[in-house]
Amino acid sequence: MVDITRPHALNFPVQTSHPIFMNSEAVSALVAKNPSLKAAKAKLEAMEPGSYCIHRSWGFGLIKAYDEASQKLTIDFAEKKGHPMDPAFCISTMEVLPANHILVRKQTDAAKVADLVEKNPAQLVVETLASYPNSATTAIDLEITLAQLLGEEKFKKWWSTAKKAIAKDPRIAVPAKKTECYFVRETPVSAEDEITEAFNGTRSARRRIALAEKLIAATDKKNIKADLKAILAGVSEAVKESNQLDAAERLYGAAVRDDLARLAGVEVAAMDPSQVSLIANPRDLVAISEKIPVQFQGRFLDLTKEAHPIEFRDLVFTLLKTSQGKFTTECINFLVDNGYADDLASTLRRWQVEQNLRAPVLLWVVKNRHSKKFAKLLNELITPRLLGAIFFAIDYEALQAASARRIPLADILSEDTDLIADLLSTADPETARDLANTLMLNQGFEELTKKSLLARFIKIFPNIQSLVASDAEGKEEQLLVSRASYDRKREEYDTIVSKKIPENSKAIAAAREHGDLKENSEYKMAKQDQQVLMAQKTLLEKDLGRARVTDFKEATIEQVSVGSIAEVRDLKTGKTTAYTVLGAWDSDPDNQVIAYKTPLGLAILGKKPGDQVKVKIGSTEENYQIVSISRYTA
């Protein structure tokens, strides 16, 4: 039983007496002091001690008293008792609740309300609506009120079950959208009759499929009233003939049609087109999977196996590679349940080596690394290399988004306090330092978050503490660049600002004129282009702001510096190569020109002839010796 009298609920003693009334004389005194309050006289008179209220900032409360001398109310809120408030400021921020409001009844008749919560959610909604004008309120408002009644965590689970009972109650009109209203009907109408009427009143294929699905959920299987065969004919026509539906919508419509056929006692095998035939082309599966409803994902995978009995394993791995959200979990569970756990483990390891692990799969891996079902399967993946893949995916998503949109992979890295320690458990100090450097350069984290994550590195590898100091120094670090590379960057920036962004703005405006933005692919693509362009513009502005143009004449021949030509010998092969070390944007590997910011460039800076250096690139370590140094400008 859901206990709505536990501490998570807002509880106040029932008020049985009114110490000082907010009477008409008191209200008149307030109005005399502030004539603009005259229009709100009724609201002021309702603010009498003993009344319960909802304040925009403070939440649920009980008005305890009114002090005529200070002309202030005293209100008990859950977080603050005896809070004084000016009634004039409460007019627009506080609502006094009627005695029959469900939140008030939770205080005055808790046992009855708790019984309704547990046993009769439809009646609870009827009685909740009764306190609103015309017994109606929006779906958003109703859900907010019920969430306050039960507490946020309990409400979510309770509401998913309660909605089914509410949908079947003939007294309650259930809205199609959250902005529309629930209301109590004057004359009860069965859900079946209401849905049937709506079905007959529309010719939209999408709407008919949605209503048929709703009818299946609302129909009492033992006492079917609706003319299911007539509705089945309408849905079948929509699935077979409508040109409004894309491939995913047609497939899901066929699934709803088949469920309706079973309910109506019609042979499903006779339905045309069949669900299996709609996914006969393997090349269509990825596009379809991206649009199917969440509740259909498991059935979609079963259909894939039925339609492609020989190649379904490989097809599901392809779907997994591009999957997102719950579908990632569905694909993995499907593969494991069908006996492909070992194949899954080896495929994930291969994708990691090939750098093909995408953010949704990475997110699933880190969330399930300790689960009983998957821990053994994922054990070999939990390595420093996986952390590198995570940083890359976060950085890539941040660049693509170019907005404040949440990045789930970044969130879990921050929130799961054991994750970095788990991933670094087999790391050596140099690998850990490289990953910490990668973190500091990552665009997917705010600076405070970076420091918090870096602290977890330092806890395991204290020597990484030096990065904090070097990062502080590097905040204002300038980039040494050549005039030619600076001009190229500047030209790229000017092209984006003066040409590409204005062209994109025109494309967005033109696409908007095509109508419904939800179905407008041109608009979505143009908006995505806008995000990428704005990210590029921001990055270029940052880089150009740090750039210092140099002619490299300051280079010496005593040690390698920016502007040096360093002849180095590979100690493994004996091969000698002359590398020209230039500005941050000057790399030209084909001509042995390297930027001083590259791993090799950083390794040889400051070194003298005869010095040996180690360069680690990925998992490979190379050993070199400086043979000679000359000036690039010479």
Look at residue 520 in the predicted model and tell me its pLDDT.
57
Give the CATH number for residue 520: 1.10.287.180
Please say if the pLDDT value at position 526 is more than 60.
yes
**Residue where a domain stops, chosen among 516, 549, 582:** 549
In a domain, 376, yes or no: no
In a domain, 160, yes or no: yes
Confidence of residue 18 (pLDDT cuts 50, 70, 90): very low
Residue whose C-alpha is closest to residue 205's, from 261, 259, 265, 252: 252
**Residue where a domain stops, chosen among 490, 515, 549:** 549
Look at residue 114 in the predicted model and tell me its pLDDT.
94
Please say if the pLDDT value at position 115 is more than 90.
yes
Please say if the pLDDT value at position 7 is more than 50.
no
User: CA 339 to CA 320: how far, in whole Å?
Assistant: 16
- Indicate the range of 166-175, 519-528, 533-542 predicted with least confidence: 519-528
User: CA 57 to CA 406: how far, in whole Å?
Assistant: 26
513 lies in the same domain as 496: yes
155 lies in the same domain as 206: no
181 lies in the same domain as 238: no
b/e map 371-390, b = 16+ CB within 10 Å: eeebeebbeebbbbbbbbbb
Look at residue 119 in the predicted model and tell me its pLDDT.
93
Tell me which amino acid residue 552 is. Answer: F
Look at residue 548 in the predicted model and tell me its pLDDT.
85
Could you tell me which residue, 622 or 64, shows the higher pLDDT? 64
Task: Report the chain's C-alpha Rg in angstroms.
Answer: 33
Confidence of residue 471 (pLDDT cuts 50, 70, 90): low
529 lies in the same domain as 496: yes
Please say if the pLDDT value at position 603 is more than 60.
yes
Span 592-612, average pLDDT: 87
In a domain, 50, yes or no: no
b/e map 41-54, b = 16+ CB within 10 Å: eebbebbbbbbbbb
Tell me which amino acid residue 287 is. Answer: A
Q: What is the pLDDT of residues 234-274, one digit of tens each?
A: 999 999 999 999 999 999 999 999 999 998 889 998 899 99
In a domain, 244, yes or no: yes
Please say if the pLDDT value at position 402 is more than 60.
no
In a domain, 130, yes or no: yes
472 lies in the same domain as 409: yes
Q: What is the pLDDT of residues 322-363, one digit of tens each?
A: 999 899 999 999 999 999 999 999 999 888 887 788 899 999
Tell me which amino acid residue 418 is. Answer: D
Look at residue 9 in the predicted model and tell me its pLDDT.
42
Length of the chain: 634
- Indicate the range of 8-22, 96-110, 260-274, 300-314 predicted with least confidence: 8-22
**Residue where a domain stops, chosen among 502, 524, 549:** 549
Look at residue 20 in the predicted model and tell me its pLDDT.
47
Written as one string, the DSSP assignment of 323-385 is --THHHHHHHHHHHHTT-HHHHHHHHHHHHHTT---HHHHHHHHHTTT-TTTHHHHGGG-SHH
102 and 145 Cβ atoms separated by less than 8 Å: yes
194 lies in the same domain as 267: yes
Look at residue 110 in the predicted model and tell me its pLDDT.
93
Could you tell me which residue, 177 or 514, shows the higher pLDDT? 177
453 lies in the same domain as 513: no
In a domain, 103, yes or no: no
In a domain, 298, yes or no: no
Please say if the pLDDT value at position 14 is more than 50.
no
- Indicate the range of 188-197, 416-425, 495-504 predicted with least confidence: 188-197
84's tokens: 């004084």
Range of the domain at 213: 190-278
Three-state DSSP at 114 gives: helix
452 lies in the same domain as 441: yes
User: Residue 92 CB: number of other CB atoms within 10 A?
Assistant: 10
410 lies in the same domain as 471: yes
At residue 328, what are phi and psi to the nearest 5 degrees? -60, -50
463 lies in the same domain as 493: no
Confidence of residue 418 (pLDDT cuts 50, 70, 90): very high
Span 380-398, average pLDDT: 87
Span 137-148, average pLDDT: 91
585 lies in the same domain as 614: yes
Residue whose C-alpha is closest to residue 159's, from 148, 180, 143: 143
27 membership: H or E segment, kind and range: helix 24-33
Average pLDDT of every residue of the chain: 85
Give the CATH number for residue 156: 1.10.10
Look at residue 558 in the predicted model and tell me its pLDDT.
86
Q: Give percent of the chain above pLDDT 90.
A: 33
Confidence of residue 216 (pLDDT cuts 50, 70, 90): confident
Give the CATH number for residue 583: 3.10.50.30
Look at residue 469 in the predicted model and tell me its pLDDT.
54
In a domain, 248, yes or no: yes
Look at residue 514 in the predicted model and tell me its pLDDT.
59
Confidence of residue 540 (pLDDT cuts 50, 70, 90): confident
pTM: 0.55
Residue whose C-alpha is closest to residue 334's, from 382, 380, 279, 289: 289
Span 31-54, average pLDDT: 85
Relative orientation angle of helices 429-441 and 447-460, to the nearest 10 degrees: 180
Report the range out of 55-59, 116-120, 353-357, 569-573 with the highest average pLDDT: 116-120
437 lies in the same domain as 511: no
Domain count of the fold of the chain: 5
